[in-house]
Amino acid sequence: MHHGGGVTEQSVHKALSSDSRARLIGLLRQAGRPCSVVELAESTGLHVNTVRGHLDVLVRVGLAERSTSRRSTPGRPSVLYGPTLAALPPQEALIADAQAWARDHAQLAEGSATGRDAAVALVTQMLAERGFAPRGEEGGNLVLTACPYADLAGAEERLVCRLHLGLVRGALDRMGAPFTARFVSVDVLTPRCVIEFVDRSPTNEESAP
């Protein structure tokens, strides 16, 4: 495991050797949302400055990340902390990353495509930006030639494929497209998945790897 920026597996293990830091990561994982230093201090019984110091270490080794809260009134926004994908179990990391991807693209997809070609083009663009390396096939199918989730999935290849399909279907739903998507070919070893765009029907809606 290597988190970039000179961070090594040894530094990650050293960071988690502290019971307090290990507990903070556990709290961040359980929360399901970014937390403030004050919240974490109250949960652990530690002083806010102590918590802040531990969080700085977790951010430095790539296990936590900072964000800022949105304020409806003037003033300095609060700094919030959440776990990175590296701090999550594989399945949780997959789901969290997929949810973030869907949120990032929700506005782009909302009612944006009126025709089949436009909808497929937008889905292709979204998948390309995420690292799936999609390629159009003759006949209108879309081939995913790369999988950005492969390292996280471990033995859960089918979970990865279901996430692929769910992301595509969700985008089509937000566009108001009159068709959906299904897999016609899945190869968990290469990885190479083929998506077919089909009319909506109970059978097609239920199709999954």
User: What are the extents of the domains in the chain?
Assistant: 9-86, 90-206
Query: What pLDDT, on the 0 to 100 scale, is given for residue 2?
Result: 36
How far is 59 from 47, CA to CA, in rounded Å? 18
Kindly state the average pLDDT of the residues 75-97: 73
pLDDT, one tens digit per residue, over 94-137 is 666 666 666 666 666 665 555 788 888 888 988 888 888 999 98
DSSP reduced 3-state for 73: coil
Query: What pLDDT, on the 0 to 100 scale, is given for residue 4?
Result: 40
**63 pLDDT tier (thresholds 50, 70, 90):** confident
Residue 114: other Cβ atoms inside 10 A: 11
pLDDT, one tens digit per residue, over 188-207 is 566 678 889 988 776 655 55
What is the dihedral sign for C-alpha 200, 156, 191, 186? negative
180 within 8 A of 165, measured Cβ to Cβ: no
Angle at 196 between CA 170 and CA 179, to 5 degrees: 50
149 within 8 A of 94, measured Cβ to Cβ: yes
Q: State how far Cα 41 lies from the chain centre.
A: 27
How far is 182 from 35, CA to CA, in rounded Å? 38
Local structure of residue 90 (DSSP, 8 states): H
How far is 31 from 64, CA to CA, in rounded Å? 13
In this predicted structure, which of 63-72, 113-122, 155-164, 176-185 has the lowest mean pLDDT? 155-164
How far is 185 from 123, CA to CA, in rounded Å? 18
Cis peptide before 178 (omega within 30 of 0): no
Local structure of residue 148 (DSSP, 8 states): T
The fold of the 9-86 domain, in CATH, is Arc Repressor Mutant, subunit A (1.10.10)
Name residues whose C-beta falls within 8 Å of residue 68's C-beta, 6 or more positions apart in sequence.
77, 78, 79, 80
Tokens of 1: 């495991």
